[in-house]
Amino acid sequence: MTSPTNLYPRNIRVLPSRIEQPAHPSVVSKAKRRLDILGAIVGLIITAVVTVPVAIAMYFDDPGKIFYSQTRCGFEGQTFTIWKFRSMIANAEKKKHLVENQATGHIFKNENDPRVTKVGRFLRRTSMDEFPQFWNVLRGEMSLVGTRPPTTAEVAMYEAHHFERLKVKPGITGEWQVRGRSEVLNFEDIVQMDVEYQQKWSFLYDLKLILQTVGVVLARKGAC
């Protein structure tokens, strides 16, 4: 767990060689980090409450692990293990090549992915599958608000301008989730949203996006 005197992890530059630049203000903001810690604690309490019913539902739908983990890239390309409630069948990764990618660019999306379980569809529609990521927020690997955390395979295909989106911490929510979520199928549009977030960022703007996220989730807009 991150110590109280060190509210954000030490910056480690691992992106392609370039002139060293100061970290984005959101990365070093103590107010943002304190909001993350508070939100993560509340989120983990809720996660603990829903884990048992989710586990029972999974047992009757598709027995297997409750949680799903995957290596993702965060701030400046640092890798970390992201956690979610499992929403797909146990051997989903091995069957990925059988599913059509409906997105354009370095992301993978399919509105009716056959690998998603019945319980998984409910978790995704309600965004409950994301709840375990509050642990990543508490650890300082993610933020409540930021960019979509890409996989290492996606980052391996990045062009130079795509790395701009990694100048801030990945978030549980952000511009992409508020402005379309799964309805946004062009990776370049996501990159543009992430750059716009960096330009607009302020503590109050984060609060605005969090409130908008609550509305989007309750309306189940753009989820699949």
Is residue 157 included in any domain, yes or no? yes
The pairing of beta strand 67-73 with beta strand 79-85: antiparallel
Amino acid identity of residue 193, one-letter, is M
Instruction: Decide if 164 is inside a domain.
Output: yes
158 occurs within a structural domain? yes
Total-model pTM: 0.84
Is residue 107 one of the residues assigned to a domain?
yes
In tens, the pLDDT along 24-55 reads 999 999 999 999 999 999 999 999 999 999 99
Alpha-carbon distance of 204 to 136, in angstroms, equals 22
- For residue 103, name the pLDDT band (cuts at 50, 70, 90): confident
- Residue 70 has which token pair? 């995957």
In angstroms and rounded to an integer, the radius of gyration of the C-alpha atoms of the chain is: 17
Asked, for residue 13, whether it belongs to a domain, the answer is no
Sign, CA dihedral 221-101-88-163, equals negative
pLDDT digits (tens, 9 = 90+) for 112-149: 888 999 999 999 989 999 999 999 999 999 999 999 99
CA-to-CA separations, 202 to 145, 175, 182, 212, in angstroms, rounded: 11, 13, 25, 15
Give 173's contacts (C-beta < 8 A, 6+ positions apart).
144, 145, 209, 210, 213
The per-residue pLDDT for 198 is 95
Please say if the pLDDT value at position 223 is more than 70: no
pLDDT of residue 181: 66
Longest CA–CA separation in the chain, Å? 54
* Domain limits for position 124: 27-219
Please check whether residue 22 lies inside any domain of the structure.
Answer: no
Question: pLDDT averaged over the chain?
Answer: 87
Kindly indicate the confidence band of residue 222, based on its pLDDT and cuts at 50, 70 and 90: low
Q: Which residue has the tokens 């790395």?
A: 163
Counting the structural domains of the chain, the total is: 1
Residue 110 within a domain: yes
Which residues, in sequence order, are bridge partners of residue 157?
A: none
**Residue 89 CB coordination number (10 Å):** 17
Residue 219, pLDDT above cutoff 60: yes
Residue 6 in this model has a pLDDT that exceeds 60? no
User: In the prediction, which pLDDT does 91 show?
Assistant: 81
Answer whether residue 199 is part of any domain: yes
